[in-house]
Structure 1
Amino acid sequence: MNYKTQMEAAKLGIITKEIQVVSEKENMDINKLMDLVASGRVVIPANINHTSLSPEGIGEGLKTKINVNLGVSGDCAYYDKEFEKVKLSIEFGVESIMDLSNYGKTNTFRKQLIDYSPAMIGTVPMYDAIGYLEKDLMDISAKDFLKVVEAHAKQGVDFMTIHAGINKRAVESFKNSKRLTNIVSRGGSLLFAWMEMTGNENPFYEYYDELLDILYEYDVTISLGDALRPGSIHDSTDAGQISELIELGALTKRAWDKHVQVLVEGPGHMALNEIAANMTLQKRLCHGAPFYVLGPLVTDIAPGYDHITSAIGGAIAAANGADFLCYVTPAEHLRLPDLNDVKEGIVASKIAAHAADIAKGVAGAREIDNKMSDARRRIDWEEMFSYAIDSKKAREYFESTPPTDKHSCSMCGKMCAMRTTNKILNGEKVEIL
């Protein structure tokens, strides 16, 4: 039997090598995984031309995955620095990297990234359209946009953010909502501008079937972008956001009918008390498709610390059903992140994802925490460092102020609770002086 996508193979009962790998990584029964992929509740983004890929599953019952954004801009067009971020991301074991380059000819960097990376690769073709086509925004035709999508697909991109839901109906809802921060999605704002300047329907909505045909050919997962995601807690869960989400639900089913895998993207900025309800609403309106969230950031007043505001929201979102977290760095809203910003963003997102997996009861999620706790009880520093998300930083902190007694740290010294209890339980005398 012939198939083009992981979803189509699962519908036909074919176990692909990618499904086999994900089943082993997640310790999930392969028949259960097949059912989830066939129904669209799990995706395995795996372009047929991404030969260096180590496949990952995203969705129901699986570990929460994280994505790192990187890429050049007009003000920071240094591909060598971006590739350092790629290497750091791989070292930290991130499952996904999005190349959001929006300046010059990006295809050389993207090819190197796809050839090198075992992590899945995502792009937003809208960002690349002006540079790739060498046309200004208003001069780009609807079919031109599809050419850029096909170019990315041929190179081996595993998933693409396509803002197909911001059609004329959604735009009217946005205009009537009188938002505080309007449209904060870069790709969404460009499409909105193109629609307003040309008077045409969103090309990705108008030619959605042709778009799906391209994605099907290379098994590219469509990540349905939320052009109307809230850019402030004031705008969260408003009519614009929800009207677009309804459109995304309909587009999800149309993609599944063509055996194309689907992710759905979500907010954004959102108050803590709205997050859980939004996760439930998305899953309901989008038929259980995996949910990919940016944050959400739970307050708007922490520039320089938005990796923290994002991790708080991301942990709550994932604990309530989100499947895929896009990292946020301390540089969010301020500048292109540097290497250290990327590291801080990765660690914060990994903490959020892991905390959510524990809350969701993902199989095996607690095991490493139990190992860390056991090592702490025994005061085995080397073992503790080996379990840490950032073992290098943990070691540096410990060694910066070394204790006089190796069975403690410099905070408690000989008054360490672990040391005291261990000695008493071992029948030893506790001496402090």
Structure 2
Amino acid sequence: MLMRDARNGATPEIKEIAKAEGVDAVRLSSLIAKGLVAVPRNARKSIAGRAVGRLVSTKVNANVGTSKDYDDCADEVKKAKVAVQYGADAVMDLSTGHDRDTVRKRLAKELEVPLGTVPIYHAARKRRNAVDMTADDFFSSVREHAKDGVDFVTVHCGVNRNALGRLKNDPRLLNIVSRGGALTMAWMLHNEKDNPFYEEFDYLLEIAQEYDLTLSLGDGMRPGCMADASDRPEFMEVITLGELVKRCREAGVQSIVEGPGHVPLDEVEMTVKAMKKLTGDAPLYLLGPLVTDIAPGYDHLVGAIGGSVAGMAGADFLCIVTPSEHLALPTADDIRDGVVAGKIAAHVADTVKEGQRERSRETDRRMSQARSDLDWKAQIRMAVDPDRAEHIRGTRMTEGETCSMCSDLCAIKLVRDALKSGKI
């Protein structure tokens, strides 16, 4: 198990990660050992580790997956590969269609980045009615996914009786918008029992230990709109997750904490810092966050705005939002647009993040130098989406070395030529 191995110093894997991240290997080992950095990687796989947490670069995840209405395994695999092509550091398979097992197994085999899943979706599909799941269904799905090579799993352990009581006392406009959280809550109410993942958390830890499976402690109570943000149900769950993070660390199991969701811009920093405080500075994984509710079709932009602010405040892992959010299953083009927006947000966050600030700003400096030199090949090569940059440049290119916006009145060229004349 990597977390326990890290307590004895830098392993070869940790040294490779440290080199890629530009951080000291000994310090990174210490952070992994303490649970302040997670490296999701199933013990049965040999993919390169991607570190999430303090000092390392902000990572980006893309969600794919079939549904009952669109059950095309090959298309979801294609989307996942598009996500990786454009820079996703991890992929989550949220498949709920008939072919869900095939999607998961193919992604675990074919992707070179960490793969995550939500096993309760699988458990729910085992029964005619989701509320008829057994406690064994919960855990057997986790084990099955781990056997298939999944690297991290979202488990909504914080959705328990305390959370249910808080939700009843503090009604919301949208109640629960997390699918995993809703399935858990419906099961609890129907069966009049507490959440098996919470009640038998030690058993979950045993499975995680066996496969070095990273537990992504899900935000089942995340707010689904501005009106529900930063409320008691949300933070009741976070308090519980903080307690579970401690148990993970004691067991040598890597963990990540998931967070909201929809958050007003002026509450993003407070939310991130509060979650970090309550969970012992565990690596924080956010969806977005979305900072307005009015932008269907453009939520990838809304998520990028929220992600930049959240990253500046301490978020470590950003789940992309696509233009299809709230509307439909995303296309491959939607995935590309979402990943690019997420990568921009992550880079913006890294320009101010401890451990990454200098490296990220040097990247911007090199781009600025290429612009100063009117070096279009270098600008395109360093762009977050070189394909799009090259397409735009190629379809509206002038005969000279400037762009078609300014043409012969290019400010950079005018000043450069004037200074070279030596007449000042």
Query: If the TM-score is normalised by the length of the shorter chain, which range does it land in?
Result: over 0.9
Alignment deviations for residues 14-69 of structure 1 (CA, whole Å, 9 cap, x no partner): 43332122111111111100110011100011101223x12110000110000000
The CA deviation string for residues 187-229 of structure 1, in whole angstroms up to 9 with x for no partner, is 0000000000110100100111001100111001100001000
Q: Which amino acid aligns with 2:363?
A: I
Tell me, in whole angstroms, the C-alpha distance in 2 between the residues paired with 1:290 and 1:87: 25
1:118 corresponds to which letter in structure 2? E
**1:231 and 1:269 in contact (8 A); partners too:** yes
| Cross-structure match for 1:214 | 207
Q: Contact between 2:258 and 2:284, CA under 8 Å: does it hold in 1? A: yes
Alpha-carbon distance change, 390 to 295 in structure 1, aligned in 2, over 3 angstroms:
same
Instruction: Provide the residue aligned with 2:65 in structure 1.
Output: 71
1:238 to 217, 227, 231: 231
Instruction: Please give the secondary structure, in 1, of the residue aligned with 2:337.
Output: helix
1:298 aligns with 291
Report if the CA contact (8 A) 1:226-1:244 is conserved: yes
Q: Specify the alignment match of 1:176 in structure 2.
A: 169
Q: Per-residue deviation at 1:392?
A: 1.1
**Aligned match of 1:127 in 111, 121, 131?**
121
Query: Can you give the 5+ residue segments of structure 2 that lack an aligned partner in the other structure?
Result: none
Instruction: Find the counterpart in structure 1 of residue 381 from structure 2.
Output: 386
Equivalent in 48, 59, 63 of residue 53 of structure 2 = 59
Write the mapping of 1:14-163 to structure 2, written as runs, cut at 5 A: 14-51=9-46, 53-131=47-125, 133-163=126-156
Letter matched to residue 5 of structure 2 = A
Mapped contact 2:255–2:283 kept (Cα < 8 A): yes
Report how far residue 105 of structure 1 moved.
4.1
Moved more, 280-289 or 84-93: 84-93
Following the alignment from structure 1 to structure 2, what is the Cα–Cα distance between the partners of residues 355 and 115? 32
- CA-CA distance at 1:138 after TM superposition: 2.4
2:273 is matched with 280
How far off is 1:404 after superposition?
A: 3.3
Alpha carbons 1:228, 1:244 under 8 Å: kept: yes
Q: Does 1:413 align with 2:423?
A: no
Normalised by the length of structure 1, the TM-score is: 0.95
- What's the secondary structure of 2:57's corresponding residue? coil
Output the CA distance in 2 between the equivalents of 1:393 and 1:428. 38
State the secondary structure of the residue aligned to 1:426: helix
| 1:320-339 correspondence to structure 2 within 5 Å | 320-339=313-332
The alpha-carbon deviation at position 135 of structure 1 amounts to 4.5
CA distance in 2, matches of 1:281, 1:138: 33
Match of 1:354 in 2: 347
- Relative to the length of structure 2, the TM-score reads 0.97
Amino acid at match of 2:335: V
SS at match of 1:55: coil
Q: Distance in 1 between matches of 2:404 and 2:137?
A: 63
- State the partner residue of 2:398: 403
CA contact (8 A) 1:18 1:44 kept: no
Stretch moving more, 84-93 or 236-245: 84-93
Letter in 2 for 1:347: V
Give 3-state SS (helix, strand or coil) of 1:68's partner. strand
Q: 2:157 & 2:107 partners in 1: Cα distance? A: 26
Distance in 1 between residues matched to 2:132 and 2:87, nearest whole Å: 41
SS of the residue corresponding to residue 256 of structure 2 reads strand
Shift in Å, 1:359: 1.8
CA distance in 2, matches of 1:299, 1:90: 28
SS of the residue aligned with 2:359? coil
Conserved 8 A contact 1:266-1:291: yes
One of 199, 203, 206 as aligned partner of 2:196 = 203
Which residue type is aligned with residue 100 of structure 1? Answer: L
1:264 aligns to what SS in structure 2? Answer: strand
For the 8 Å contact 2:119–2:142, the answer to whether it is kept is: yes
Deviation at 1:91, TM superposition (A): 1.4
Say if 1:264 and 1:291, in contact at 8 Å, map to a contact too: yes
1:262: Cα distance to partner?
0.7
Say whether the 8 Å CA contact 2:160–2:198 is kept in structure 1. yes
Cα deviations by residue, 1:58-92 (Å, 9 ceiling, x for unpaired)? 00011000000001001111111111112212212
Structure 2 SS opposite 1:67: strand
What's the CA shift for 1:348? Answer: 0.5
Q: Distance in 2 between matches of 1:236 and 1:319?
A: 19
**1:154 and 1:134 mapped to 2: Cα distance?**
21
Kept in 1, the 8 Å contact 2:127–2:133? The answer is no
Between Structure 1 and Structure 2, how many residues are aligned?
422
What CA distance in whole angstroms lies between the structure 1 residues aligned with 2:277 and 2:318? 19
1:247 corresponds in structure 2 to 240
User: Structure 2: which amino acid aligns with 1:50?
Assistant: K
Q: Residue by residue, what CA displacement relative to the aligned partner does 1:167-190 show, whole Å, maximum 9, x if unpaired?
A: 101110011111011100000000
- In the alignment, which residue of structure 1 is the partner of 2:249? 256
On the 8 A contact 2:87/2:339 being kept in 1, the answer is no
The one-letter code matched in structure 1 to 2:229 is S
Aligned equivalent of 1:423: 417
